[in-house]
Structure 1
Amino acid sequence: MALIGEALISASVQVLCDRITSPEFVDLFRHKKLDEPLLMKLKTTLLTLYAVLDDAEEKQIQKPAVRDWLDELKHAVFDAEDLLDEIDTEALRCKFEGEDQTGKFTNKVRNLLFSSRNHFYQSMNDKIQELLARLENFVQLKSALGLGEVVGRKVSQRTQTTSLVLEPYVYGRDEVKEKLSKVLLSDDAGKDAVSFLTIVGMGGVGKTTLARMLYNDDKVKGNFTLKAWACVPYCDDYIKITKTLLEAVTSKPCNTANLNLLQEDLREQLRGRKFLFVLDDLWNENNEDLNYLRALFITLGTRGSKVIITTRNKNVAYVMQNVHIQYLEPLSQEDCWLLLAKHAFGNEKCSAHSNLEDIGKQIALKCKGLPLAAQTLGGLLHCNIDFEYWNRILNDGFWDQPYDTTNILPALGLSYHYLPTQLKRCFTYCSIFPKDYEIEKEDIVQFWIAEGIIPKAENGKRMEALARRYFDELLSRSLFQKSRKFSFIMHDLINDLAMFMSQGFCLRLEVGASCEVKRARHLSYARGRFDAAPRFEPLYEAKCLRTFLPTSLNPYIYWRKQFVSKKVLQDLLPSLRCLRVLSLSHYQNVTELPDSIANLIHLRYLDISHTAIERLPGALCNLYNLQTLLLSNCSSLLEFPADIRKLINLQKLALGGCSSLNKLPAGMQELANLHHLDVSGTKIEEMPVQM
């Protein structure tokens, strides 16, 4: 079992070596006059670097030079993945189109085809030679950085489901919950009709958990006629705040941008109703903004209404003039141990592992009373109920890392540090999602598969099953938390951890460039009603980008019409030739895709659902690697291109709600890898489809 997780790119390097030495790839090099000895030299260099990756991963936090070396190596490895994928794709194209058919062309055309293909493979030789030179530089530097092979270490690849109960457990909060419940049930609000209850505490201490307990308490629920939960970390945009609150109350989108009208609408909704609002994780320190927020509620509320605020900032509590301020202290050592033990042993009793109780309590002490730390460490310890493993974690040098240099709690850093390499890639990829973002499990499963994070299997169903197991494993380690019935969320501090570990590769456009845009691999950005071209100008340099994903923290935004600049569709996206995940969903002005979509030869996942697209270009069928095509609720879609049979790797096709589509194209039966076809809500729903 595991002593420590492998380095983040270990799996990528291993996959590259396997591909290089596969019979199919070697045979391709021989037949296409590619440089086979060069290929073997590339493999040897990769294996030399592979031997020191684990050591580099351990030393990167203490030694910035090692982190720089490792980050640059990651970029080189990802470039190698793209290069080999490009060769594979060309081979696939030639195989599908049949090179032997060139005999039916004239000698002139045949010579042009031959020359073009020779030029391609020669350029591949040149690129491999350039890549090899880059990798050899890393080999030369490893000794100077003191990197060596870590001998005698076994690594767990455990990704099995567990008996661990994933529902949240709360220890040590009964007394404070009882006290705050009485405040919520009391109608004595003093001079104002609405009173504020503020829960103040450091990150990870359990503020949101306590607020959720109060919000869902049966007695509390029965005392209010209206309840709503909203996350407004920064209250400097009054229109946005009021709109967020109104949409939370009505569960409907709000399109007006007039502050006075918004306030009138909200006042009308709340008239005569005693409400309970929760404003979770409020950060704003500006007194003017906080006073606006306070005044908004006071002018709207019926006597006895309450607002619960959770915040790390004491100033918020003072400005809101609360009826009650609850400073949430860390858990006692005993409660912290009970919480850790619950996550470590699951449904088993601690007495079944009495030999681990003393060392477990010592580990719990290092959590410093933070429930989030106890939960994640409990999930880590659950992986191996073994004294040697627990002792290794207790005495790990990672505990000595200075918090002020990374802003990463040691307990959370250890949880990442001990992850198997595949789980590390899955976890760090999720840093593209903004804080408080509702993550759908099936979406992230498809993203991971498209990005090549999930090891290849014989069919798509097996890869999906494995990806779900990876997700469940991260959930069992408290790196995800349940949010709604089918959604999940990352705690802010967990999100910070993912961002720290992925910096230089993942970019969230709405928070500024946390890495060089031109070297970013994965991008998300906050949707707007109109996403104009200027905001995307820096991305013309992002030639390595693999993910292009619009996101939104507001679920009601999808009820509004949204638009994206035509320049983005026509010019930007076709230039991002390394894209594997592309989403244009919900953009109402997307009526067609340019033929240049064929430039995206690496594309695996394409989501154009909820758009006004009418026809798909024939060029789309040249995307031989495409695995997922989502067209749900494209009500204007009339037909498919004739050559859809060329999408030989297509595994998932969603057509639900395509009301204008009345037939499937010829050649669908040739898509041997297609295992998921959704035609609900279409005219072809009742047609027999043999899959």
Structure 2
Amino acid sequence: MAAALVGGAVLSSIFNVVFDRMSSPEVANWIKGKKLTQKLLERLKTTLYAVQAFLIDAEQKQIKERAVKDWLDSLKDAMYVADDLLDEVFTKAATQKDPGTFFSRFLNLQDREIANRMEEIIERIESIVKQKGTLGLREIPKENMSWRITTSLVERSSIYGREEDKEAIVKLLLDDDDTGDGDISVIPIVGMGGIGKTTLAQLVYNDEKVKENFDFRGWVCVSEEFDVIKVTKTIIEAITSTSCNLKDLNLLQHDLKERLSRQKFFVVLDDAWNEDYEDWSRLLKPFQNGAKGSKILITTRSKKVASVVQTISPYELSLLSDEDCWLVFSKHARLSTDSMENPTLKKVGKDIVKKCDGLPLAAQALGGLLRGNFDVEYWNHILKSEVWKFSNDKIKVVPALRISYYYLPSCLKECFVYC
């Protein structure tokens, strides 16, 4: 099953490499003036965009459906051929010495051969794409993964091992010293997927001392789709608890600026991915008129995001101890005193928790998977099998961590696949 997931990673990586090849200046220059080849390249792009929309659904279904896995394998083979061909074009373009000949009006024999091969591979990929309907594949945009939406609500009884982290963040929030340069204080919480950044932010957000310290608070789940207008509008709605119908960024920012003016506020921007400094500068402009001691807390997996937004050193969240992971697991598995009197079951449970490697999300997911089931044989089955084979509706670790892979540069995706 792990091989299937890696297969999906391979295909995603090939797609990125092929798109990078097509967008490179070398290939663009070679195509220039060669109308036949340029037309084929645009056709290839259109075909790849079409299949990419169904790729997420296919990668999920391949675990259970052999026909979908075979379809992905065929697509992967075709993509390798396309990559080889574009690599050949790239090399030809990069090593061409005579620009006068290079941009000749008519395709020479070698160019015609490349065009013919491109035609063949496009037809092959188009034929594969046509099969998607038969397989029941549907379009799932990456940004529409609803499991990533978060709120400020928290269940304290299910959280372990974060009290010191919480107190450290609360201390930073209650510190009214300004940053020294007039900027709003921005505190990033950084850590890998599943480590509990959002949970920590929820604990802090609902802390009584924090509530008393600020005039008002607001929680916004930023997630992948970073749109300044959308995020600004959501912030206004979060702090006013009413809908906002403004659509113009200028009007939105002036409205937000007025609402924040001379008020001491605390805003959480959860799950940030955008690394663009200009986008963040635009978003944060209305916050500068807040009262002294106002704070923004940002959670992110990206150290680059933290470096872009921070005015205070990022708080890097560490993994949980095995003991704290066991407490999380036990809570979600609903282990009773009676069930823990079985030494074999407890030992297997402890071994399962060790595989969580300190990730509370993994402990929670596995605990939920075993909830109410105290059969030692089944627990052993979970311990010895690959948990990744379970569907995403049963265990949320795979989709929660897979998103980190999406944001790797193409070169690092290739390294990931190799490892």
Q: 1:233 aligns with which of 201, 207, 223?
A: 223
User: Which stretches in structure 1 are left out of the alignment for 5+ residues?
Assistant: 1-58, 71-137, 139-165, 399-409, 417-423, 428-473, 480-490, 498-691
Structure (1 or 2) with the greater helix fraction: 2
Is 1:184 aligned to residue 90 of structure 2?
no
SS state at 1:493 partner: helix
Paired position in structure 1 for 2:350 = 361
Deviation of 1:300 after TM superposition, in Å, equals 2.9
Deviation sequence 1:577-612 (CA, Å, 0-9, x none): xxxxxxxxxxxxxxxxxxxxxxxxxxxxxxxxxxxx
Aligned in 2, Cα 1:382/1:341: closer, same or farther, shift over 3 Å?
same
Counterparts of 1:221 and 1:167 in 2: how far apart (Å)? 16
SS state at 2:158 partner: coil
Identity of aligned residues (%): 49
User: Which stretches in structure 2 are left out of the alignment for 5+ residues?
Assistant: 1-60, 73-134, 136-154, 404-419
Flag the structure with more relative contact order, 1 or 2, with Cα contacts below 8 A and sequence separation at least 6. 2
Deviation of 1:394 after TM superposition, in Å, equals 0.8
Is 1:323 aligned to residue 325 of structure 2?
no
Aligned in 2, Cα 1:210/1:352: closer, same or farther, shift over 3 Å?
same
Is 1:254 aligned to residue 244 of structure 2?
yes
Deviation of 1:62 after TM superposition, in Å, equals 10
8 Å Cα contact 2:224/2:274 also seen in 1: yes
After TM superposition, list the pairs within 5 Å mapping 1:271-670 onto structure 2.
271-297=261-287, 299-346=288-335, 348=337, 351-396=340-385, 398=386, 410=387, 413-416=388-391, 427=393, 493=399
Is 1:67 aligned to residue 69 of structure 2?
yes
Q: TM-score by structure 2 length?
A: 0.56
Deviation of 1:341 after TM superposition, in Å, equals 1.9
Paired position in structure 2 for 1:402 = none
What letter matches 1:258 in structure 2?
A: D
Aligned in 2, Cα 1:282/1:324: closer, same or farther, shift over 3 Å?
same
8 Å Cα contact 1:235/1:241 also seen in 2: no
What letter matches 1:215 in structure 2?
A: Y
What letter matches 1:379 in structure 2?
A: G
Name the Cα RMSD after superposition.
3.6
Deviation of 1:495 after TM superposition, in Å, equals 10
After TM superposition, list the pairs within 5 Å mapping 1:107-186 onto structure 2.
169-186=158-175
Counterparts of 2:342 and 2:402 in 1: how far apart (Å)? 34
Deviation of 1:220 after TM superposition, in Å, equals 0.9
Counterparts of 1:256 and 1:355 in 2: how far apart (Å)? 61
Q: TM-score by structure 1 length?
A: 0.35
Counterparts of 1:327 and 1:229 in 2: how far apart (Å)? 21
SS state at 1:315 partner: helix
8 Å Cα contact 1:235/1:293 also seen in 2: no
Counterparts of 2:401 and 2:310 in 1: how far apart (Å)? 31
Larger radius of gyration: 1
What letter matches 1:303 in structure 2?
A: K
What letter matches 1:261 in structure 2?
A: L
What letter matches 2:69 in structure 1?
A: R
What letter matches 1:290 in structure 2?
A: W
SS state at 1:307 partner: strand
What letter matches 1:315 in structure 2?
A: K
SS state at 2:292 partner: coil
Counterparts of 2:65 and 2:339 in 1: how far apart (Å)? 39
8 Å Cα contact 1:242/1:263 also seen in 2: yes
Counterparts of 2:297 and 2:315 in 1: how far apart (Å)? 11
8 Å Cα contact 1:193/1:302 also seen in 2: no
8 Å Cα contact 1:193/1:305 also seen in 2: no
8 Å Cα contact 2:222/2:270 also seen in 1: yes
Deviation of 1:358 after TM superposition, in Å, equals 1.8
Counterparts of 2:297 and 2:339 in 1: how far apart (Å)? 36
What letter matches 2:205 in structure 1?
A: Y
Counterparts of 1:223 and 1:204 in 2: how far apart (Å)? 29
Aligned in 2, Cα 1:282/1:333: closer, same or farther, shift over 3 Å?
same
Aligned in 2, Cα 1:392/1:267: closer, same or farther, shift over 3 Å?
same
8 Å Cα contact 2:194/2:400 also seen in 1: no
Aligned in 2, Cα 1:283/1:385: closer, same or farther, shift over 3 Å?
same
Deviation of 1:338 after TM superposition, in Å, equals 2.0
Aligned in 2, Cα 1:242/1:300: closer, same or farther, shift over 3 Å?
farther
What letter matches 1:171 in structure 2?
A: Y
Deviation of 1:246 after TM superposition, in Å, equals 1.4
